[in-house]
Amino acid sequence: MYKQLMGLQQLSRRTISSSARRQVDNMVKEKQKLFQANNGIPVHLKGGAKDAILYRLTMALTVFGSGFVVYELLNAAMPKKA
């Protein structure tokens, strides 16, 4: 039982230490140039197509949610006659 625990401990240690060695490119300078460029695009859309889709989805959900709230308030204010 003790050998199994030691083997598991060594395996977990190896997995953790090997995953920390992966190198990730530092993209900060390129992102700073992209977002600081004076090209007339609002900063919340400078990320590309993904930002545009997220922006439009957020706006659509906001408009739908606001409309639904107004609809429900009108239903509550004017109950149906039975």
Closest CA to 45 of 35, 32, 58: 35
Tell me how far CA of residue 38 lies from CA of 10, 51, 55, in angstroms: 53, 18, 20
CA distance 44 to 31: 13
pTM of the model: 0.56
Position 9 scores a pLDDT of 73
Position 72 scores a pLDDT of 95
Asked if residue 20 has pLDDT above 80, the reply is: no
CA distance 44 to 55: 8
